[in-house]
Amino acid sequence: MQQSPEFFKKLMDLSNAEKDNTIEQKIRDLVHIRDSQINGCGFCLDMHVKEAKIHGESELRLYHISIWRESTLFIPRERAALAWTEVLTKLPEQGVPDELYDRVRGQLSEKEISDLTFSIMAINAWNRINVAFKTVPGSADAAFGLTKAGLS
C-alpha cells in the first residue's frame, strides 16, 4: 500500500465494484473463503470468515466450505460458484474443462459467470499480496469493522 499506492487503489476500486455485481453476497463470501483456503492466505481467510459471519452465514456452513463437495449444506448454485473458484484458482494445464463450464452455465448466467470471474481474480490478487507480505490475520479487524463478528 505504501510502496505502490496507485496499484493498491486500483485493486481497491475493483474490490469495491465487486459489491455491485450480479453475484449475491452469500456466494461472494463462500468464494472469498474457499479461495483464501486454497491459497493459504491466513489474513484473507480470517477476514472473510468474519465478514460471512456478520452477513449471517451459519458456523456449520463455514466449517463445511473446505468439504463442500461432500457436504449437503450447499445448493447447486453455490456448488457451481465453488467449483468455478477452484478451477480458476488452480488453473489446470488443459484449461477449464468444457464439462465444468457447462455445469456452471447451468446455474449462472453468462453475466454472472463474468462477474464471478472478476470476484475470483480480485480475491486471488489480495491473497497473493497478503501471503507475500505476511499480513497478520486479524490485524485490520478494527479498521474493517470485523470485531462485530464476535470471533476475536
Contact 118, 14 (CB under 8 A): yes
So what's the pLDDT on residue 142? 94
Report residue 24 as a C-alpha cell: 449475491
pLDDT score, position 1: 81
pTM of the shown model = 0.95
Cβ neighbours around 46 below 10 Å, total: 23
CA distance 46 to 94: 32
- Decide which of 67 and 2 is more confident: 67
Cα–Cα distance, 144 to 64 (Å, whole number): 25
Residue written as grid cell 489474513: 43
Confidence of residue 143 (pLDDT cuts 50, 70, 90): very high
Kindly report, residue by residue over 94-142, the tens digit of the pLDDT: 999 999 999 999 999 999 999 999 999 999 999 999 999 999 999 999 9
Sorted by where each starts, the structural domains of the chain and their CATH numbers stand as: 5-131 (1.20.1290.10)
Q: How many other C-beta atoms are found inside a 10 Å radius of the C-beta of residue 143? A: 8
